[in-house]
Amino acid sequence: MAQRRTSSKRKSPTKRKPRTRKVDHTLNWVGCGLFVVAALAFFKLGIIGTFLANCFRLVIGDAYLVGAALVVLYGAWLIVSGKALRPTARLSWGAGSSRLAGWGSCRAGRWRPKVSMPTFSLQRGGCCKGILPCKQPPRESAGD
Dump pLDDT digits (tens) for 65-105. 999 999 999 999 999 998 888 878 877 787 778 777 776 66
Which of 125, 37, 103 is closest to 75 using CA atoms? 37
Q: State how far the Cα of 111 lies from the Cα of 98, in Å rounded to an integer.
A: 20
Q: Where are the domains of the chain?
A: 32-83
pLDDT at 109: 60
Query: In sequence order, what are the residues at sequence separation of 6 or more whose Cβ sits closer than 8 angstroms to the Cβ of residue 71?
Result: 34, 37, 38
The verdict on pTM exceeding 0.75 is no
- Tell me how crowded residue 67 is: count the other CB atoms within 10 A of its CB: 17
pLDDT at 124: 46
- Tell me how crowded residue 45 is: count the other CB atoms within 10 A of its CB: 13
- Once rounded to an integer, what is the mean pLDDT over residues 122-129? 49
Share of the chain above pLDDT 70, in %: 63
Banded pLDDT at 20 (limits 50, 70, 90): confident
Asked if 119 contacts 132 with a C-beta cutoff of 8 angstroms, the reply is yes
